[in-house]
Structure 1
């Protein structure tokens, strides 16, 4: 690659390089700086030509794709919970991937991703690994179909961990008593303290099958005659939840003047729940288990058909509702069969 000779003009030097019938100019203080610029410029122009012809791939590392996906897709996601989750993945990306984060997306192989999957599986649950693989696979699909950077998605060529059996945890009446006791709440009393509202929310969730986030976000103007209106649920859509007589009685206990039914943040609610249930040894009880309990009760007690139940719970996939959240025990099945 022949470098043209710089020309002196006054106190500076100028140089001209020609490439594919185009000329590029540069002015620098010294002849050597001009020559360095010319050499880099010719390399850049030739590399660009090879990229455009498909002979050479542009430099685009995994970390850059993570940033672009977050900016273009994550921040614009209509669901706040999805936005927050994608943001969490974005922030912890380099910690999870280490040296692989610095590798070009063109050089990442299924073997690289299989090694990452194995390491990650030793750190977190199979459900978490599956969710993360889905997220990063979507990132590469975006690079493939929207940015036109890739021909294939290597995430599609690896074996995913086996999905664990869905939880079928029911809540025994004795456990409800323990939860109320540790939260210092007596059923039928007006909640006053923070822990009282956690206990109240626990009872209300069992009656309505509402998610924790929906409970904490619930406002007084969402309460209507006979139902609660949820303006935006996990799937991004609104829904109406009918109120049982027990649920109505619980709402009548709310006497404060605030806008929200439960006057605390979701994080404060979660921390109180986790701390108090651990204190009585119920570590295997998740707040989301109230949804399992509520749905199973709705079928057993109210004999709701599945299509109506799906409207109440917000499930778009009937199989998820039936196979994951409806958890009858043997006595429930025998009763239903004889009925």
Structure 2
């Protein structure tokens, strides 16, 4: 009887392997996306953003997709009225998929010499969205949130306003990754910076969370009826802002408001950047640099007090 090893044509296997792995020349874009989502486990659910791309390119061989195709589709999205910031997020998703394929070439079977079709596509300029809420408006928002039909809406908004967390980070807070004694929540790796994200929780947030009913340790804190599914706050958020006459207030604006409050309280750009999870201070300096300048002027004036 022939051994199993003897049945294998060593020469054919060697010829199929390149660089220590076997290429997968027929992998479709849909299969690549599914593999990326299952293996890379991106922090945010991407299904709703990637659906259109799967409809357009899903059946195409991933390695045959060209820069012209991607650029043309992005241009079509812009022409259809998509904001530059949203278009940039779409581009970021596609870049992340192909970057993962290149990094995990043994899994993806990427052909030798393949270059990402989005490697040379740049982001569009994004107008800076500046948001201001008075202390009274913030107080009213929190007060009204206490009357929300979602009983954890107040805690959700309070945590966003004090920690500067993104919505996706709040949705990943679980009882087993949140330490109320240490006042931190470890919510995983940030998909933008690649750094591990730790949210800093204020005393008021900790007090609020302690009043919530705990399910199993791996249950989400800001869950809906299903303790393992994040609560979809969009309808309740629209109702709250409508009641307050703040029709243009986005949930993500709470992150910007948190940054503004930290800087006005005297925090440095570096410290605020670290709290918010930015890779460096450039983004914060671009958006809030004038606020830190005002704070620094106050510091200089106080230090110079009495000197003539």
TM-score bin (small chain): 0.5 to 0.7
1:72 corresponds in structure 2 to 35
- Superposition RMSD in Å: 4.0
Q: Given the alignment, which residue of 184, 198, 201 partners 1:239? A: 198
1:295 corresponds in structure 2 to 259
Deviations 1:89-108 (A, max 9, x none): 4433244x3xx666677876
Q: Comparing both structures, which one devotes a greater share of its residues to strand? A: 1
Cα contact 1:216–1:262 (8 A) shared by 2: yes
Normalized against structure 1, the TM-score is what? 0.60
- Are residue 122 (structure 1) and residue 79 (structure 2) matched? yes
Task: Give, in whole Å, the separation in 2 of the partners of 1:170 and 1:66.
Answer: 42
Bigger relative contact order, structure 1 or 2 (CA pairs below 8 A, ≥6 apart): 2
Q: Counterparts in 2 of 1:1-339, with a 5 A limit?
A: 65-81=28-44, 84-85=45-46, 87-95=47-55, 97=56, 110-123=67-80, 124-137=82-95, 139=97, 146=105, 147-148=110-111, 151-156=114-119, 160=122, 162-180=124-142, 182-183=144-145, 185=147, 194-219=149-174, 222-225=178-181, 227-232=183-188, 234=190, 235=194, 237-239=196-198, 241=200, 243-244=202-203, 246-248=204-206, 250-251=208-209, 254-259=210-215, 261-262=221-222, 264=224, 265-301=229-265, 303-324=266-287, 328=291, 335=298, 338-339=301-302
Task: Give, in whole Å, the separation in 1 of the partners of 2:297 and 2:221.
Answer: 39
Report the 3-state secondary structure (helix = DSSP H, G, I; strand = E; otherwise coil) of the residue aligned with 1:67.
helix
Q: Which stretch of structure 1 is more off in the superposition, 321-330 or 224-233? A: 321-330
Q: Comparing both structures, which one devotes a greater share of its residues to helix? A: 1
Task: Give, in whole Å, the separation in 2 of the partners of 1:316 and 1:273.
Answer: 29
Instruction: Give the C-alpha shift of residue 172 in structure 1.
Output: 2.0
Instruction: Give the C-alpha shift of residue 281 in structure 1.
Output: 3.5
Count, aligned residues: 264
Q: Aligned in 2, Cα 1:243/1:334: closer, same or farther, shift over 3 Å?
A: same
Normalized against structure 2, the TM-score is what? 0.65
